[in-house]
Amino acid sequence: MSELPERDLSDEQKMMRDSCRDFVDDFVTPFIRQNWQREWLMDPHERLPRSILEQADRIGIRTLAVPEEYGGVQLEGASEVRTFALIAEEIARGDSGLADKLVQNWKVSVLLRRFAPKHLQEKWFTRLVADPSFLLAHCLTEPRGASDRWLPYNVPEAAMHTRAVRDGDHWVINGRKQFISNGYDASLFVVYANTDPKVGMLQGTSSFLVPRDTPGLTIARCNETIGCRFMNNGELVFENLRVPADHLLVESNALGAAGIYFRPGKIIQAAKNLGVGMAAYERTADYVQHYVQGGRILIKHQAVALRLADMATRLAAVRALVREAARAVDASAPDADALCNMAKVFASEEVLRVAQHALELHGGNGAMLGFGIEKLWRDASIFLHMDATADISRFKIVKSLFPATAGAYAGPES
């Protein structure tokens, strides 16, 4: 299926896709297959070698969305999200954790080029481009509030527990963030905090740019996950952390302004998930056409052939919805919010079924750590919880479709 012609791609998109595919086939997949034990190392720094990020840098995919004036690779605006999705799928076909590392840089770069002051863009984009190991992180989720904040209730009770208070020429931040992609080893963070506890969440949340070496910031731990382990998910603590006033990105309306991060993010999540599904499908298709069971190759058993057809059909449906949603986001279409959440939910559930088929069609080999199929199943399972849970995403879909009647706040528990 990965060899089928892509419709409506520009020459630039085809070139980038092919470069990414070669990168995955020549560098990423061989590393993952030969070093499968490394994802289980408890020292996060020892998992993914710097050389992989350096090679990603050489083909220009680490600094997508960074303005060209700072040395980045700025994509065609009218098709940027679709290009993000195309490349994310290819990278995740090799490893979804690596894809997670890279796409955080893309998405946060979109935010910074839109909201960061010019002098901070020059400072941080220049450092990002110069250092292949430089990572960005988007810090929203907290221990006592994550996807549930996105129920259709815009009230003070849903506010961030992380607080930021103005003190002269600085903002002072206190709080904690968890489940942050790249949170353990990023060099620069976008942090969301409540700055007005008297108003609704959408009116009282601000965002700040926080360098890693800022006094008062502690990287508390690396969260050990069952999948996507080559991206180091982190937990952060802010204790009287002070940032200059110009490090405020968006005051009060940070969550609304972050739509330029969230909407492409849903598409990219779905595309990464599709990449995992494609890897599971490709390896299973090869396996069932070469492995003999019961005196014949597996694909000649009707039950096996039916499952392979089911896998291909599910992936084709995911790909079609991801493309449609990406076009809607690129065009700022009125149905973009609903479609990008539909793509995220649909991909997370369908690809998990594809990965389960792959696991079972490999028989006992599917359960063996060294064989690599169970890793794809583990990676696929993570997407149910990334970038909002499946159920919360469904609430967002309904809210987009029926904004006047989708839900009303019932008040705090008495």
pLDDT in the model for residue 414: 53
Task: Kindly report, residue by residue over 50-64, the tens digit of the pLDDT.
Answer: 999 999 999 999 999
Q: Is residue 107 part of a domain?
A: yes
Which of residues 99, 133, 167 is at a domain's end? Answer: 133
Residue 305: half-sphere exposure toward Cβ, Cα within 13 Å:
6
Domain match, 174 and 277 both: no
Taking the C-alpha atoms of residue 343 and residue 322, their distance in angstroms, rounded to an integer, is 5
Residues 98 and 230: beta-carbon distance below 8 Å: yes
Q: b vs e for 221-253, b when ≥16 Cβ sit within 10 Å of the residue's Cβ?
A: ebeebebbbbbbbbbbbbeebebeeebbbbbee
- The reported pLDDT for the residue numbered 200 is 84
> Is residue 341 one of the residues assigned to a domain?
yes
- Give yes or no: residues 153 and 216 share one domain: yes
Same domain, 247 and 275: no
Are 281 and 396 part of one and the same domain? yes
> 262 and 241, same structural domain?
no
Residues 229 and 111 in one domain: no
Is residue 71, in this structure, part of any structural domain at all? Answer: yes
**How high is the pLDDT of residue 11?**
87
Residue at a domain's end among 189, 222, 255: 255
pLDDT in tens, 346-396: 999 999 999 999 999 999 999 999 999 999 999 999 999 888 888 888 888
Q: Are residues 268 and 172 in the same domain?
A: no
Say whether both 267 and 332 belong to one domain. Answer: yes
Interatomic CA distance for residues 121 and 305, integer angstroms? 53
Which CATH number is 39's domain given?
1.10.540.10
Mean pLDDT of the chain: 92
Indicate whether 5 belongs to any domain.
Answer: no
Angle at 10 between CA 30 and CA 282, to 5 degrees: 30
- How many domains are contained in the chain? 3
Question: Tell me, what CATH number does 186's domain have?
Answer: 2.40.110.10
- The residues of the chain scoring below 50 in pLDDT are none
Q: How many CA atoms lie within 13 A of 328 on its CB side?
A: 20
Residue 3 in any domain: the answer is no
3-class DSSP state of 49 = coil
Helix, strand, coil content of the chain in percent (nearest 5): 55, 15, 30
Query: pLDDT tens across 287-342, in order?
Result: 999 998 888 899 999 999 999 999 999 999 999 999 999 999 999 999 999 999 99
Same domain assignment for residues 129 and 141: no
pLDDT for position 338 = 95
* Residue-number span of the structural domain to which 392 is assigned: 257-401
Judgement on whether residues 268 and 240 belong to the same structural domain of the protein: no
